[in-house]
Structure formats: C-alpha cells, structure tokens
Amino acid sequence: MRMTASSRRLHRERRTIEAMIALFCRDQHGSANPLCPQCEALTAYAGQRLEKCPFADDKPTCAQCTVHCYKLSRRAEIQAVMRYAGPRLLFRRPLLAIHHMLAERRATPAHPRLQSRKHPDAGGNEAGT
C-alpha cells in the first residue's frame, strides 16, 4: 500500500507531536523511554485528536488551526510541550522541525462543516413553502 501525500502529512504530524512529547518528557520529567504515565496519556490523547480532526488531510498546524479540539486542561499541557520542545526540535529532529515550519506557512483551510452551511441551496431545505 502506497501512502498519499496527505496521509504522509498526517503521519509526519503524528511523529512530530510524539517527538515533541518525548523530548519534553525526557528533559522535564527525566523519562526517556518509556514515557512517564502523564506524557504517555498526552501522546495517546494527541493521537486521538489527530484521528478525529475535521480537516482530515488538509489539517493545518495546531498554531494555525481555527478549531480548538483539545480540552482546556489538555490544551495547556500541549502548549507547554510545544513551547519547550518546538525550538529544541530543530536540533534534535531537524527534518521534522523544518517540515513543521513549512506546514505553518500553508494557508489554513476553511472548516469543512462551515463550508456546507455557506451554501443553503445545496441541501434543498425550503422552509415555509
């Protein structure tokens, strides 16, 4: 089975967040391999959020996203991880970091669910007739 460019992008996004969490966990919690339970849970949660992303293959980076898919408590955790690991990733995993920086420059797509609402005649819903 051959990966498409969009599935490669999601796979790379998953590897990037996993690398960021591993770097953060090693430096902040002293756990390298395996991750501490808190970081293991955050990695699993981030994976679930990636799988359920409404943008699917057109997913923007989290910093550019218009949808807040993380719970508030998890959002604070992942922001701390990204703030710490983002700059350091350039030295530890340069290719992932460069791909991530290039992805941040891509235009953010419109939310898929909102696109369908902008075209009322697409659904054929005629009220009051």
Hey, where are the domains in the chain? 5-107
Q: Tokens 């679930």 correspond to what residue?
A: 48
How crowded is the C-beta side of 36, counted as CA atoms within 13 Å?
12
Look at residue 59 and tell me whether its pLDDT is greater than 50: yes
Look at residue 128 and tell me whether its pLDDT is greater than 50: no
Query: How far is the C-alpha of 126 from the C-alpha of 40, rounded, in Å?
Result: 50
pLDDT confidence of residue 5: 55
pTM of the model: 0.72
Question: What one-character DSSP code corresponds to residue 105?
Answer: T
Question: Average pLDDT, stretch 57-70?
Answer: 73
Tokens matching residue 13: 């996004």
Q: Which amino acid is at 22?
A: A
